[in-house]
Amino acid sequence: MNGFRFELLSGEAIGPRLGRLHTPRGIVRTPAFMPVGTQATVKGLTSEEVQQIGAEMILANTFHLYLRPGADVIERAGGLHRFMRWEGPILTDSGGFQIFSLARLRRLTDEGVTFRSPLDGAEHLFTPERVLEIQRQLGSDLVMPLDVCLGYPADDEKAKEALRLTLQWARRSRAHAAGDGQMLFGIVQGGFSPALRREAVARTVEMAFDGYAIGGLSVGEPREATAQLVEQTCAGLPADHPRYLMGVGAPPDLLDAVSLGVDLFDCVLPTRVARTGTIFTRRGRVNVRNAAFREDAGPPDEGCRCAVCIRYTRSYLRHLFNADEMLGPRLATYHNLSFLAQLMEDTRTAIAGNRFDAWRREVLGAYVTPW
């Protein structure tokens, strides 16, 4: 796989797993959370700060970078790593989620998906082959094929058609192949039907991708349904390949998915809520704008080891947000991503010590609703 190798250190198809994803740009210890850098930036932070936090791989968005500044611009700049000054691995998604989130701006056919740009209204055709070519231009390390993601609820007929297109496009992506030095994942869809998910797993695995993503979840369905479908999907995936659950970033959801056999995660949640003043703590989410923190001299999270919690107080963060100072969102973002990096580090330690289940119960027992 062009310098890629997934090393499963402990665990099997189902249950918590410990691994290492070897890439030409470094090793990613799994389970791992990938901060989202949609526009070639993790919002509010420098690449050096993201590295300081402990992130070993980040995600960038093919659709948005294609529109602005353009894949050709990034290619001429030496690729996405050089363009944004990030030295570790980068995963790029395919634009499939935009089929869901920008439904009013797209048109689906067997050939691909035609988008109307939200920037200027111009139409662009994304085919499976074109999407891989764009990701080749970007020079990312882990690449995703074009797929169709549905919202919740979705009836079986819509889910069948979405799966048909996703599998057809996956076959074309596999035949086209990723660029040199890139790892191509398959994406398991199937809506919210256990039968369609089983079909999706079996037919995607038949194509022998380098890794497997679980898509189309965390789009409004009940948490119990998410867990059931993730467990069912993991049971059908090869144990010696990495599994990536797309779009999950709440601490309880991360630990639930790890317990079912997932290795990789990404989500905009920690950075998005940080910009509104919400921070992650061991006791749940906290909004530092709350008047209760006006003179609170304690750290944002007493159990956190990050640079923000060591140096700053809740009172100071509250002041920054209420004064509309840009440092407030920056510090909250730094903390939230540090919190998840520490959570994943503690997760790996617990798995290595054969005490994950007990540790998870302890963590979730202390994690309550927001103050």
Q: Phi and psi dihedrals of 267, rounded to 5?
A: -175, 150
Give the containing element (helix H, strand E) for 228.
helix 223-236
How many residues in the chain? Answer: 371
Give per-residue burial for 246-277: e unless 16+ CB within 10 Å, then b.
bbbbbbebbbbbbbbbbbbbbbbbbbebbbeb
Which residue blocks in 77-177 are alpha helix, DSSP H?
Answer: 80-84, 96-101, 128-138, 156-176
Exactly one of 110, 266, 324, 346 is catalytic; name it: 266
The three-state secondary structure class of 160 is: helix
266 is catalytic: yes
The three-state secondary structure class of 42 is: coil
Query: Residue 288, CB half-sphere, CA atoms under 13 Å: how many?
Result: 35
Exactly one of 93, 141, 253, 256 is catalytic; name it: 93
93 is catalytic: yes
Cα–Cα distance between 52 and 5 in angstroms, integer? 25
Cα–Cα distance between 18 and 356 in angstroms, integer? 11
Taking a C-beta distance cutoff of 8 angstroms, is the pair 1, 23 a contact?
A: no
Q: Which residues, including other chains, have CB under 8 Å from residue 294's CB and lie 6 or more apart?
A: 315, 318
Query: Residue 28, CB half-sphere, CA atoms under 13 Å: how many?
Result: 30
User: How is residue 104 written in tokens?
Assistant: 């009013």
Taking a C-beta distance cutoff of 8 angstroms, is the pair 255, 365 a contact?
A: no
Give me the DSSP letters along 45-95: --HHHHHHHT---EEEEHHHHHHTT-HHHHHHTT-HHHHHT--S-EEEE-S
| Residues assigned a catalytic role | 93, 266
